[in-house]
Structure 1
C-alpha cells in the first residue's frame, strides 16, 4: 500500500498556498486554471483511483491541460497533498452542533464527522500525518473542538490529549473496515467465503471442549455488515466518552488539576 507523508515538500511554499500568502498578479488575462480547481481534481483522482494513482500528470489529465501548466500553481505532488489534506476537512457549520450544546455533543460530532471523512476519502489512511501542516480548515476544526471542551476543567494539554484519543479511535475503526474491504478486493475471496472455509476446522475445535465460551456464542455474534459496523462504532464511542465524562466529573468544571 502506498504511504505518503504530510509536510514532505517545501513547507514554506505549502503554507503560502494554504493561507493565500503568495503574491497574485493584478493584471493580465484571467488564468485558465485555479489552485482550487487543481486541488479538487486531485482529491477526485485519489477518491476514485487511490493515492497510488495520484501524480501531477494524472491531475493534469483530469483537468484536460498539460502537466507543466500545473507547476504555475503548485510546486509538486508533496505540496499538492498538503493542500488536499486541508481541503477535505473544510468546516461546514451547518453540519455541526453549536459548541454551547456541551463537550460530549461536540466530540460526538467530531468523531462521526471523522468517520464520514474516512468513508468518503479512504486514501486518507495512507497518509502519515505525524507532522501535519496547519491550514485554515484544519485550524477551524480544532477551534470548534476546543470551544466545546472549554469549561470542562481539563488542562490545555489534556484537551489535546482527548482529541488525539478520539482521532485514534476513529482512525483505528476506519482502518479495520478498510483492511477488510481491501482483503476481499486483493484476494477475490469474500468475507463470507473466507470464514466459511474455516468452519469445518472451527467446528472440530469447539467439539474438544477446550473453548467453552467461544462454543457458547450466539450464531449472529460475528455478523458483520453496515448495521453491525455502525453498532461497533457507536459502542466504542460511547465507552470512550463515558470514561472521559467520569474523568471530567472528578475534576469539577473550571478547575484544572494535576492527574
Structure 2
C-alpha cells in the first residue's frame, strides 16, 4: 500500500463525486472538444498538466487536500489561471478519474477461461485502487463518460461476453465484481490509515489493548466469537488481512457467478 493511501478517506465536499459539474462542459473537456480558437497570450500550461498535477496531489495527500488553489500552486500558476483550463473542482474530478481509467492495464482476455477473465478484471481494478486510493471513495453512480471510462467498460465487459448472458446481466455481473473489489480496497485503505494515524501497527494496538480487554471481555459469555476471533487474529496477525479477504471473497464471487453462467 502506498504512503498516500494512509491518508484516505478524508471528508469530501458536496461536489466530491463524479458528474457534479456542468455535463456539457465536462464532456467537452473529457473528449477534448475545443470550444473555439484560443485567444490572448500563449498559455503556460494545459488541461492535461492540470489533471496530472491534481492526481499527484490526491495520491500523495488524499482527496481532501485537492483544491484548485493547491493544483495552481503545484503548477506555479495563479488560481485564476487554473480556471482557464478547468472550470472547477467538479469537472476536474471527472477528468482525474477518466485519466486513471485510461491508464489502467488492459490484458488480453480472449483466450482465457471465464473465471480467469473475471479474476484479471478484479486484479487490475485492485491494482488501480492501490495506486490511487482516493478513487475508492469517489462516488461514480454517474460515471465520467470520457474515453477512459468507455475503454474500461468495454474491455471489462469482455470478461462476460459469449457466455450466454443477456446485456443487462452482463452489466450487473460486472457491477457485482467491481463492487466487491472496491469494498475490500476501502477496508485495506482504512486499515493503513488507522496504523498511520495511531503511529501503531495492528499488533502494537492489540498488545496495548489486551490487558484491559482481559478484564472486561468474558470469553465464556461470547464463546464462539472469542474462539473464532482469536484463531483468525493469530492467523492474520491482526483483526483483518486485506489479501486474505480479497482472495477468499473473490473465490465466493466467482462461485456465485458460476451458478449463473455454468447452469445456463
Does the TM-score normalized on the shorter chain lie above 0.5? Answer: yes
Provide the rounded CA distance (Å) in 1 between the counterparts of 2:191 and 2:225. Answer: 25
> C-alpha displacement at 1:112, in angstroms?
0.9
Give the alignment of 1:219-258 within 5 angstroms: 220-224=234-238, 228-251=241-264
Q: Say how many residue pairs are matched.
A: 249
Name the Cα RMSD after superposition.
Answer: 2.6
With structure 2 as the length reference, what TM-score do the two structures score?
A: 0.83
Change (3 A) 1:137 1:117: same
1:254 aligned residue? none
Match of 1:115 among 101, 126, 129: 126
Match of 1:79 in 2: 91
TM-score (structure 1 length as normaliser): 0.85
Q: Work out the CA distance in 1 between the residues paired with 2:26 and 2:177.
A: 27
Give secondary structure in 2 for the equivalent of 1:101: coil
1:128: how far off? Answer: 1.6
Post-superposition CA distance 1:170-220 (Å, at most 9, x none): 111011111122223333443223222342455564653751574375472
Task: Select 1:20's aligned residue among 20, 32, 55.
Answer: 32
Greater CA deviation, 178-187 or 198-207?
198-207
| Cα offsets for 1:28-83 (capped at 9, x unmatched) | 97633121111001100111111111111111111112222222211111111110
Map of 1:156 onto structure 2: 167
Tell which deviates more after alignment, 208-217 or 106-115. 208-217
The residue that corresponds to 1:195 in the other structure is 206
Change (3 A) 1:98 1:225: farther
- What is the CA distance between 1:230 and its match in structure 2? 2.2
Distance 1:72 1:175, change over 3 A: same
Q: Equivalent of 1:42, from 47, 50, 54? A: 54
